[in-house]
Structure 1
């Protein structure tokens, strides 16, 4: 029984981080109707930014997360305005192929610059663990989940209570009507894409303190984002949070039952089941695009 509780705690301790991984992916998909294949590579890029910031300047990756996000925000904004914006409104296959090509370019650029060797931020002194009876919780995962949830909560507040957020929601619902109301649709698309890349870079910084990073791991993070969006439902920030916690728990129990190497496979099986049984996810909105 205690083993099951420990596994459950391990899964929940990753929930906020997983939500941070998927929030930007869901935002870009929902607002721009783009399946951003580049998302996993941006997460890895954020991880490398945190790694070198810690190595050369001693900056804690949990504190560096918003800075990594700001750097990837600028990258994402410029990328959308210069390369993605010209194909907005075209069939989804075109934008899919474009982001796939950009992903290959960024992945190979990081391989050339950093090699495929795995690297990890080693905090000194280590953060240690918290013991609750027989339950052990790594402090770094608590920090990652707390910061991840704070960033996702900030995104939710921005979308719900600011003029920029209302503009993004308006463009998401009907871009032609939004344009008639005076909203700069192209600028809003670029900002929304930038916010998605901000979340990816921030998540990468948090990941660098817990898991080794390498360009070859980008596809795994992209896969997690897909699963979480389907679990929680596209277009719902609370759904992303719920999906993140669900994926963490499913992976933890899957690793216990079938071995850690099969945890992600189990997650994709759950993805397939949900696509058949409830395509809108747990909190998804009908007609969202």
Structure 2
């Protein structure tokens, strides 16, 4: 294997930019799985819903999807709260949230996919924004705006959610509810309402990440399946319930994937990425920033 330092550095930079996008994709699963202990296997399907909403925005409404992203995220927040209400009513309050709850989200995933197929067909769709076609160059390192913009937005999403969790009463209640729901009651917060808000945030970030996804690559209704393993891997690798850890883990996987794709071919990327996960867990089972 011939090593070109120019090629390697570009691959690393591309991996960092890809990692910023991966962080946006995984932040919702860190909340749902890491903080609420809800195995939301339908999370990638919600991402694809966001991608198709972006497609409708530009191709049907003629509105820039970035401008519509806050509205899409708000709809996702409302939908996420309704999903949690259903999950709590039928499963969590009866103590059936493990296998039955997993089946619930599997069902949602397939219903969403079928609905998208019936609405849009199985063809790949892509959002083409002219201002994202440029590439910035620093020396021999290239920064495609189509990848740089989702990276920066993804990092901003993680920072915003982390700031909300750390600085607001509801955010601190979300951090506490996964550890001790009864203690949350003692400080005047309702654990169920708190989890409902947290799950709404998780789905809202998934919808927003979908807008970024269709900017980067074409999507079709089942595109989310390729992210199922990746988002859980990032969540575990970074440390359960750690958003800074999620960002670091996303960067690690992004770099691992781009280096592998560059020198060994894209088919090896998932194997190497999960190899990094297994190695990290062997050395530190709690993840990078886990306690």
The Cα of 1:209 is off from its aligned counterpart by 0.9
Q: Which residue of 2 aligns with 1:267?
A: 273
The Cα of 1:125 is off from its aligned counterpart by 4.6
The Cα of 1:64 is off from its aligned counterpart by 3.1
Which residue among 114, 119, 124 is the counterpart of 2:125? 119
**Residues 150-193 of structure 1 deviation map (CA, whole Å, 9 limit, x = unaligned):** 11111001100001102212212201222243311211111111
TM-score where L is the length of structure 2: 0.92
Residue aligned with 1:279, SS:
coil
Distance of aligned partners of 1:102 and 1:193 in 2 relative to their CA distance in 1, 3 Å threshold? same
Q: Is the 8 A contact 1:64 1:205 kept in 2?
A: no
Which residue among 51, 62, 69 is the counterpart of 1:65? 69
Structure 1 Cα separation of the partners of residues 97 and 173 of structure 2: 24
* More divergent stretch after superposition (95-104 vs 175-184): 175-184
The Cα of 1:108 is off from its aligned counterpart by 1.5
Residue aligned with 2:104, SS:
helix
Answering whether residue 66 of structure 2 is matched by residue 54 of structure 1, we say no
Q: Which residue of 1 aligns with 2:213?
A: 207
Q: Which residue of 1 aligns with 2:192?
A: 186
TM-score where L is the length of structure 1: 0.93
Which residue among 20, 29, 32 is the counterpart of 2:36? 32
Answering whether residue 228 of structure 2 is matched by residue 258 of structure 1, we say no
Answering whether residue 239 of structure 2 is matched by residue 233 of structure 1, we say yes
Q: Is the 8 A contact 1:15 1:246 kept in 2?
A: yes
Answering whether residue 226 of structure 2 is matched by residue 220 of structure 1, we say yes
Which residue among 87, 90, 99 is the counterpart of 2:91? 87
Answering whether residue 162 of structure 2 is matched by residue 156 of structure 1, we say yes
Structure 2 Cα separation of the partners of residues 112 and 278 of structure 1: 45
Distance of aligned partners of 1:18 and 1:104 in 2 relative to their CA distance in 1, 3 Å threshold? same
* More divergent stretch after superposition (7-16 vs 259-268): 259-268
The Cα of 1:231 is off from its aligned counterpart by 1.9
Structure 1 Cα separation of the partners of residues 241 and 163 of structure 2: 14
Structure 2 Cα separation of the partners of residues 18 and 230 of structure 1: 14
The Cα of 1:126 is off from its aligned counterpart by 4.4
**Residues 186-218 of structure 1 deviation map (CA, whole Å, 9 limit, x = unaligned):** 111111111000110110001111111112211
Structure 1 Cα separation of the partners of residues 268 and 210 of structure 2: 23
Answering whether residue 47 of structure 2 is matched by residue 43 of structure 1, we say yes
Which residue among 62, 74, 80 is the counterpart of 2:78? 74
Aligned residues between the structures? 285
* More divergent stretch after superposition (57-66 vs 75-84): 57-66
**Residues 130-153 of structure 1 deviation map (CA, whole Å, 9 limit, x = unaligned):** 111222210121111111111111
Structure 2 Cα separation of the partners of residues 86 and 222 of structure 1: 24
Q: Which residue of 2 aligns with 1:174?
A: 180
RMSD: 1.6
The Cα of 1:73 is off from its aligned counterpart by 1.3
Which residue among 16, 19, 22 is the counterpart of 2:23? 19
* More divergent stretch after superposition (2-11 vs 260-269): 260-269
Structure 2 Cα separation of the partners of residues 92 and 259 of structure 1: 38
